[in-house]
Amino acid sequence: MDRLTQLPDDLLIKILSFVPTKGVVATSILSKRWLPLWTLVPSLVFEDFSEEEDEEINEIHVRSLSQFVSGTLLLHKATVLERFHLNSASECSAWEIGLWVKIAVDRFVRDLKISFCYDHFLVNLPSRLFRCETLETLQLRMVILSGVPCRLSFPSLTKLRLLSVKYSDDESFSRLVSNCPILEDLVVETCHGDNVATFTVNLPSLQSLSVRNTVRESPPDDHLFVIHSQSLKQLNIVDYFGELKLIGNLPKLVEANLQSMSYHTNVLESFTFVRRLYVCLDGEAQYPRGTVLFQLVRLELCSCIDSWTDMLVSLLQHSPKLQALKLVLKHWVLVDRKVRWMQPRRVPECLLLHLKTFEWSDYEGTKVEKEVAIYILKNAKLLVSATIYPFSVSLVRKHQMFKELEIATRSLRACELTMG
C-alpha cells in the first residue's frame, strides 16, 4: 500500500529536503504525482561521485556535475532556496561556481557550503554574496578566495566555518570575520600557504570558537591567533605549531578543549571561570602560578607528555571544586619514557571534599600510573564512581592490571572499582 503518497505535498517536499539532490531528481520519475515535487524542494545538495572507484557505490550516475547543477538550477522553481551545498565540485570552473552562488543569493539562501576534497580550488564569489542578508550558515573548505570586498556585511550569519581556506592577506580574513555582527559559532582550520600570519578574532557575539592549526609554517608566517571575544562559552583549540593570545578574561566560558603542542599555558589564565576542561599541553608547559580554576567541575587530562603528573598535581591543587576527573592517553608515547610521580605535600582540597567520579582510559599499569591511581583512589574520600579501562592487547593482562590496582586499594577506597 502506497502510504507515503498519501502524505500531503508539503510533507513530501520536506522529506525530500533531507535527500541529496541527485536522489531528489530521481523521484520525479516515480509517479505522475511526484513529477513536479522535486522542483519545489528548497534545498540543493550537490555531491560529485565521479572519483568513486567502486561502481556499486556510485548509484545514480549523474551525467556530469556541471551539467547537472546547471540543469537543476534552470528547472528548479522554489522561490526560496534555503540550502545550497556544492561538495567536491573540482570539475566545475570558478566562474561557473560564482554564477551558481549568485543565483542562490538571489533566492534568499540561508545555508551555503562550497567544499572541495583533495586540493584547493579558486572560486570567484560574487560581491552580492558578501552582502547577503539572508545567509545564516556559511562553510568554505579548501577554497582559494580571490578577493574579499572592502565593504561587506553578513547581518544574519550565525555560523561560519573556514576550513583550509587560502586568503589574499591577513586583512581578508579579519574583514570576513569582523563583519558578522551576530556570529555565534566560528570554526577556523589553517592550511599551508594560506597567506595569513595573524588570525584576529574580535567578535563580541561569539559563543563558540574552534581553531585547528596543525600546519607548520616558517616564521614570520607561523600562525598567531589573537582572540578577543568575551562572550565565549565554548573554546576548542588544536594547535601544534602556532601561538595563541587570549585578550581579556572569558567570564562566560563553560567548556574548553585545549590540545596544543606549543607553549600555551598562559592561556589557562583566562580560564578561571571554566567549568569543563580537556587539556593536552606541551612538554615544557608549566602551570601558571596563582591561576585558580574556581568553577572547574570536570577535568580531562591527556597523559602523553613526560611531565603530565606535575600538570595533574597543579591542576588538582588549583581546582578546589573538581567533581569529575578523567585521565586519557590520546597520543603516542615512547615505551621507555621517563615519567615520575611526586606526591604533593598536601592532599589537594578537591580530592578530600569534592571528587565524585574518577575514570582512567588507556591505563597501562606502569609503576608511575599505579602510584597515581592509588594516590587518587585513597585520598578521594567522597568518590562515588571509579572506572579503569586497562589498555592491552591481551585480555589476561587487562584483568591482571585491574586486579593489581583493585587489591592495592581495597581497604582505602571510598567506592567500588570497576573495569571498563
Q: Which stretches of the chain bind other proteins, using CB under 8 A? A: 1-7, 11, 14-20, 22-23, 25-35, 59-63, 67-68, 71-72, 254-255, 275-276, 297-298, 300, 323-324, 356-357
Instruction: Give 129 or 277: the residue with its C-beta nearer to other proteins.
Output: 277
Task: Decide whether 41 or 148 has the Cβ nearer to other proteins.
Answer: 41
Nearer to other proteins, 81 or 176 (CB): 81
Which residues lie closer than 8 Å to 321 by C-beta, 6 or more apart? Answer: 294, 295, 296, 297, 350, 354
Count of alpha carbons within 13 Å of 235, Cβ hemisphere only? 33
Nearer to other proteins, 234 or 317 (CB): 234
Q: Which three cell numbers stand for residue 58?
A: 556510485
Nearest CB to other proteins, comparing residues 75 and 292: 75
Q: Which is nearer to other proteins, 13 or 377 (CB)?
A: 13
Among residues 420, 319, 323, 327, the alpha carbon closest in space to that of 373 is found at 327
CB within 8 A of 107, min separation 6: which ones?
78, 79, 80, 81
- How far, CA to CA in Å, does 51 sit from each of 48, 64, 88, 93, 300? 7, 12, 9, 17, 40
Using DSSP's 3-state secondary structure scheme, residue 75 falls into helix
Residue with Cβ nearer other proteins (297 or 401): 297
Minimum CB separation from other proteins for residue 50, in Å?
A: 11
CB atoms within 10 A of CB 78: 16
In the chain, the amino acid numbered 2 is D
- Nearest approach, Cβ of residue 304 and other proteins (Å): 20
Q: How far is CA 189 from CA 210, 236, 386, 411, in A?
A: 8, 11, 37, 50
CB of 22 to other proteins, least distance (A): 8
The DSSP element (H or E) to which 277 belongs, if any, is strand 276-280
Q: What are phi and psi of 84, to 5 degrees?
A: -135, 110
Distance CA 262, CA 128 (A): 40
Minimum Å gap between C-beta 322 and other proteins is 10
Shortest Å distance, C-beta 11 to other proteins: 6
d(CA 212, CA 255): 16
- What is the closest distance, in whole angstroms, from the C-beta atom of residue 76 to other proteins in the complex? 12
Q: Which three cell numbers stand for residue 411?
A: 581497604
Euclidean distance between CA atoms 188 and 287, whole angstroms = 27
- The residue among 136 and 170 lying less far from other proteins, judged by its C-beta, is 136
Query: Which CB sits closer to other proteins, 30 or 187?
Result: 30
CB of 200 to other proteins, least distance (A): 28
Residues near 66 by beta carbon (within 8 Å), at least 6 away in sequence:
91, 92, 93, 96
CB of 45 to other proteins, least distance (A): 10
Cell of 405: 590496582
